[in-house]
Amino acid sequence: MKIILGYKDFISRGSVIDLAVAVVIGAAFTALVSSMVADLLTPIIAAIFGEPDFSGLSFTIRGSEFTYGNFINALLSFLSVTLVIYFFVVVPMNRIKGQEDETHRDCPECFTEIPVQATRCAHCTTRVTPTG
């Protein structure tokens, strides 16, 4: 009975629940990004280069085959995923964060950073209107 109560305490901890939620959201996000790359970016690459799959590209030296096409596919996939993540996740989140966490602004006279609640610049003593 004590083991079952211990398990109940373990499984109901916030960190376990948070981790489970993160894994589920991560899986859903992975599917979304993969779909965007496969269904939107790969056809654009195919339109530009004439072929969506480069795995057939290779060369041979002394009987050893080098399939550099697989590397090109992996590189394009990596660049596509990072591009999607940066422009559709990182940039919007930075903009949202920048709008919410705006605690400082530039003085209109000397361009020194001052708090948004300031009525005078600490550097040049110019009167400013509080914005926060």
Q: What is the 3-state secondary structure (H, E, C) of the chain?
A: CHHHHHHHHHHCCHHHHHHHHHHHHHHHHHHHHHHHHHHHHHHHHHHHHCCCCCCCCCEEECCEEECHHHHHHHHHHHHHHHHHHHHHHHHHHHHHHHHHCCCEEECCCCCCEEECCCCECCCCCCECCCCC
Domain that holds residue 28: 2-101
Same domain, 34 and 97: yes
Which of the four pLDDT bands, split at 50, 70 and 90, describes residue 33? confident
Same domain, 29 and 76: yes
Same domain, 50 and 89: yes
pLDDT digits (tens, 9 = 90+) for 43-88: 887 788 777 778 888 999 999 999 998 888 888 888 888 888 888 8
pLDDT digits (tens, 9 = 90+) for 89-99: 888 888 887 75
Same domain, 26 and 89: yes
Average pLDDT score over the chain: 83
pLDDT at 59: 93
pTM of the shown model: 0.48
Same domain, 20 and 36: yes
The pLDDT > 90 percentage for the chain reads 8
Question: What's the number of domains the chain is made of?
Answer: 2
